[in-house]
Amino acid sequence: MPLVRISLMKGKPADFGKQVGNIVYRTMVDKINVPAKDNFQIITEHDPARLIYDSEYLDIRRTDEMIFIQITLNEGWTVEMKKALYKTVAERLHQELGVRMEDVLINLVEVRKENWSFGNGIAQYAP
Amino acid sequence: MPLVRISLMKGKPADFGKQVGNIVYRTMVDKINVPAKDNFQIITEHDPARLIYDSEYLDIRRTDEMIFIQITLNEGWTVEMKKALYKTVAERLHQELGVRMEDVLINLVEVRKENWSFGNGIAQYAP
Amino acid sequence: MPLVRISLMKGKPADFGKQVGNIVYRTMVDKINVPAKDNFQIITEHDPARLIYDSEYLDIRRTDEMIFIQITLNEGWTVEMKKALYKTVAERLHQELGVRMEDVLINLVEVRKENWSFGNGIAQYAP
């Protein structure tokens, strides 16, 4: 169900985006009960003039290593679950890939259960 | 009103994405009462390492021919209308372009009527 | 907080997208109380076959100079504030960059305050 869009600067190793995506996927399974195998992502790379960030908003020092993660998913997660998701995604990106935690931006867009078709033209989650 | 994002693997014929988009547009007109000419789409192509999907989630066998369709549109459609949209988009993609129905992922993101300006800086749909 | 996606045709000067984004950012600060420095954007360029628009929907004459602006932001703005945002973005794009006002499409996607992490894995806006 989550559809994840990951936007990175150009110039990282070929499979870096995929590794980032795998951490996002695993953490959604662990922290917000996303089902196993529910993994759909679009990863794009951009040059610095086209991936714009403020380098000190909220007193967080960001760099060109910025990663933008926008996740469209069903509504219904608690604030505590969302917080656990953000924290663990950032920690794992840091621990496993050396990403600075300051450089991780995450945004959630919530939709209804009937707003998905995962193939065959069927609304698999509809009530 | 709908803003449609279509994401495909690289390597299809030049106008394939546009044909996919045209089917999505026509089906929105037919099944969810989108006005004629209300056709705005962003089509992108990606290499396989950057368009991630699970090849068996929900027991649906997906291939690298996967098409991701994310539609931002006004709220207010019934579940039945959404189901008709998914079904007919997948059927037409199969019948007209030979796309496997298993390879069609559709997601809807709903917004309010006043959340659009279609030109001239005016909120044409605002109450 | 706003995450802005700007989609343009290919072939504009190198910093054109960034100038468009700067106008969108400044206008959000002026018209909908977005905090200073809260500036995060993803700018992409597309060839004409992949950025689809109707050239006369709602009797507005659009051209290949079309700019698609999709803004994900917190909910809570009034209709009047949204109207002021659309109007001033389109006017400034015209006055400062010579963009035709007919060629500016804007869409807002609203989310909850707790749906953001701006770094360090923390939900900075959560209640």
ipTM: 0.96
| Residue contacts between A and C (CB atoms, under 8 Å) | 111
Confidence at residue A92, expressed as pLDDT on a 0 to 100 scale: 98
Q: Is A86 on the interface with C (CB under 8 A)?
A: yes
- Following DSSP, what letter does each residue of B10-73 receive, concatenated? TTS-TTHHHHHHHHHHHHHHHHS-PPTT--EEEEEEE-GGGEE--SSGGG----TT-EEEEEEE
**Would the CB atoms of C58 and B3 count as touching at under 8 Å?**
no
Q: Determine the distance in angstroms separating the CA of C63 from the nearest CA of chain A, rounded to an integer.
A: 23
* pLDDT, mean over chain B: 97
- Residues of C known to be catalytic: 2
Q: Which residues of C touch B109 (CB under 8 A)?
A: 109
Identify which of B51, B104, B109 has the shortest CB distance to residue A121: B104
pLDDT digits (tens, 9 = 90+) for B6-45: 999 999 998 999 999 999 999 999 999 999 999 999 999 9
Tell me what the mean pLDDT of segment B90-117 comes to: 98
Distance from CA of C47 to the nearest CA of A (A): 16
Residue of B46, B115, B122, B125 to mutate for C, most C C-beta atoms under 10 A: B115
Contacts within 8 Å (CB) and 24+ apart, B75-80: B75/B110, B75/B111, B75/B112, B76/B110, B77/B32, B77/B108, B79/A114, B79/A123, B79/A126, B79/A127
A2 catalytic? Reply is: yes
Q: What is the pLDDT of residue B127?
A: 87
Cβ of B43 under 8 Å from any chain A Cβ?
Answer: no
C36 min Cα distance to partner chain A (Å): 8
How many C-beta atoms surround the C-beta of residue A105 within 10 A? 22
Alpha-carbon gap: C95 to the closest alpha carbon of chain B (Å): 13
Chain C interface includes A88 (CB < 8 A): yes
CB-nearest to A52 from C39, C116, C123 is C39
Question: For residue A51, which residues of chain C lie inside 8 Å, CB to CB?
Answer: 41-43
> Which of C118, C122, C124 should be substituted to probe chain A, the one whose Cβ sees the most A Cβ atoms within 10 Å?
C118
Identify the pLDDT of residue A127: 87
What is the per-residue pLDDT across A13-30, written as a single tens digit (0 to 9) for each? 989 999 999 999 999 999
Report pLDDT digits (tens) over A40-72. 999 999 999 999 999 999 999 999 999 999 999
Distance CA B116, CA B119 (A): 9
For residue A79, the chain C residues in CB contact (below 8 A) are 114, 123, 126-127
The pLDDT value given to residue C117: 98
Sequence-separated (6 or more) residues with CB below 8 Å from residue B37: C54, C56, C57
Task: Please write the tens of the pLDDT for every residue from A64-94.
Answer: 999 999 999 999 999 999 999 999 999 999 9
pLDDT of residue B114: 98
CA distance A37 to A41: 12
pLDDT at A14: 83
Q: With a cut of 50, list the residues of chain C below it in pLDDT.
A: none
Of C46, A73, C73, C83, the closest CA to residue B41 belongs to: C46
Is the predicted pLDDT of residue A1 greater than 90, yes or no?
no
Nearest CB neighbour to A39, from listed B54, B60, B70: B54
The nearest alpha carbon in chain B to C66 belongs to B119
Instruction: Tell me if chain A has a CB within 8 Å of the CB of C124.
Output: yes
The confidence score (pLDDT) of residue C1 equals: 81
Tell me the whole-structure pTM to 2 decimals: 0.98
- How many CB atoms sit inside 10 A of residue A82's CB? 22
Picking from A50, A62, A70, the nearest residue to C44 by CB comes out as: A50
